[in-house]
Copies of this chain bind each other. A is one copy, B any other.
Amino acid sequence: MEPIGLAVVGAGYWGPNLVRTAQATPALRLEWLCDLDEERARAVLGPYTTVRATSSFQQVLDDPDVAAVAVATPAATHFDLVRAALEAGKHVLVEKPLTPSADESAKLVDLAERSGLVLMCDHTYCYTPAVRKIRELIHGGEIGDVQFVDSVRINLGLVQPDVDVLWDLAPHDLSILDHVLPEDVRVEAVAARGSDPIGAGRLCVAHLSVQLSTGVMAHVHVNWLSPTKIRTTVIGGSRRTIVWDDLNPVQRLAVYDRGVDRAPAGTLGPDERHAALISYRVGDILVPALPEREALREVMAELAAAISEGRPAMTDGGAGLRVVALLEAATRSAEEGGALVPVQDVTKGRT
């Protein structure tokens, strides 16, 4: 089968990764790297390439060999670029967040649907072996009911000029949550608090409490100011608990057969009842073997597969929209001093 012609737009922080992995994907054919600064694009491609650099997005859209566009520009430009690409009949892969507003994101989702084009969000983490395994464990019932989620993503991060720490880091946690939770679990509301202790003009530390339809609270802590790097997500279940430590290559994922159980209440007095009702499991820990695969290559392969098979990508525009709706509500909550803000139900089409 003929490879699918692809153009990468944006030669900044993430674009070079798209360029590298696109070149390693047999089902794709990288045609262009486009950046307002053509020199930067050329530098990213290096002196040995046959791929063309351009500063003209229009040139990319006009090229009939280009069937798909991968957008890695600042979030504020996503809406215009993605819309133009879709209107030019191109499939689109776009970095997170899909756009800075749920309304605009919804418009892009609609446009892609009406045009029969793939609109895929680069929720890279959903393509890691660890997250695939987590989803499998939850959906397969091995965890039981999800009882709590705690996600920490902190490090000494670049204070971004255009987005705060919520929009910079939390999309990772929220897209993972969206991906692994059982299909009947919905996000209902969110409360967020944050601070800007260095006077950067935007939140540098934030805590989100995400209220799920099951009554469960998922907590996310994102922080640009931590001197140590932590990437840990704990998903507590009624049967087992998953601990995902993404910085521990030896055992990224551990499944603990440990927890607290509550027996059905009987007719005992309060004291005896407590002892009788609560019991503890301290069982084995299982560290499942995970394949070594680069997530971004899987993203590229999924983009190509979705286009070839004429189906939505695993992390489609709807997933991007759900994450944006949540972030938007979180921002409002932070502005309102941490109040619980309902999250718009945009889950139709969630898979």
B-chain residues with CB within 8 Å of residue A47 when the two chains form the complex: 23
Contact B286 A225 (CB under 8 A): no
B-chain residues with CB within 8 Å of residue A84 when the two chains form the complex: none
Stretch at the interface among A112-120, A174-182, A197-205, A304-312: A197-205
Stretch at the interface among A54-62, A64-72, A254-262, A294-302: A254-262
**With contact pairs A148-B205, A193-B191 given, residues A260 and B161 touching in the complex (Cβ less than 8 Å):** no
Q: Mark A87-105, 1 if CB is under 8 A from B, else 0.
A: 0000000000000000000
**Least Cβ distance of A228 to chain B in Å?**
6
Asked if A221 lies at the interface with its beta carbon under 8 angstroms from chain B, I say yes
Stretch at the interface among A34-42, A134-142, A277-285, A318-326: A277-285
Q: Mark A243-276, 1 if CB is under 8 A from B, else 0.
A: 1000000110010111111100000001100110
- Cα A228 to Cα B283 in complex, Å, equals 12
Contact of A23 among B48, B221, B225, B260 (CB under 8 A): B48
Interface of A is mostly: strand
B-chain residues with CB within 8 Å of residue A282 when the two chains form the complex: 156, 289
Contact of A289 among B251, B262, B271, B284 (CB under 8 A): B284
Asked if A167 lies at the interface with its beta carbon under 8 angstroms from chain B, I say no
Contact B225 A259 (CB under 8 A): yes
User: Size range of the interface on A?
Assistant: 35 or more
B-chain residues with CB within 8 Å of residue A48 when the two chains form the complex: 23, 30, 49-51
B-chain residues with CB within 8 Å of residue A197 when the two chains form the complex: 147-148, 215-217, 236
Contact of A340 among B224, B227, B337 (CB under 8 A): B337
Asked if A150 lies at the interface with its beta carbon under 8 angstroms from chain B, I say yes
B-chain residues with CB within 8 Å of residue A147 when the two chains form the complex: 197-198, 225
**Least Cβ distance of A238 to chain B in Å?**
8
Contact A200 B234 (CB under 8 A): no
Asked if A159 lies at the interface with its beta carbon under 8 angstroms from chain B, I say yes
Which of A46, A274, A285, A286 has the most C-beta atoms of chain B within 10 angstroms of its own C-beta?
A285
Residues of chain A touching chain B, judged by Cβ–Cβ distance below 8 Å, are 23-24, 30, 46-51, 147-148, 150, 154, 156, 158-159, 161, 191, 193-195, 197-200, 204-205, 207, 209, 215-217, 219, 221, 223-229, 234, 236, 238, 241, 243, 250-251, 254, 256-262, 270-271, 274-275, 277-278, 280, 282-289, 337-340
With A193-B209, A224-B260, A282-B289 given, can you name 14 additional A-B contacts, CB distance below 8 Å? A48-B50, A50-B50, A150-B205, A156-B259, A159-B260, A161-B274, A197-B236, A198-B238, A198-B260, A200-B278, A225-B241, A228-B250, A284-B287, A339-B339
Q: Identify 20 residue pairs between A and B in the complex whose beta-carbon atoms are under 8 Å apart, listed by A's number.
A: A50-B50, A148-B225, A161-B271, A191-B193, A193-B209, A195-B217, A198-B238, A199-B262, A200-B277, A219-B221, A225-B236, A225-B259, A227-B258, A229-B250, A282-B289, A284-B286, A284-B289, A285-B289, A286-B286, A337-B340
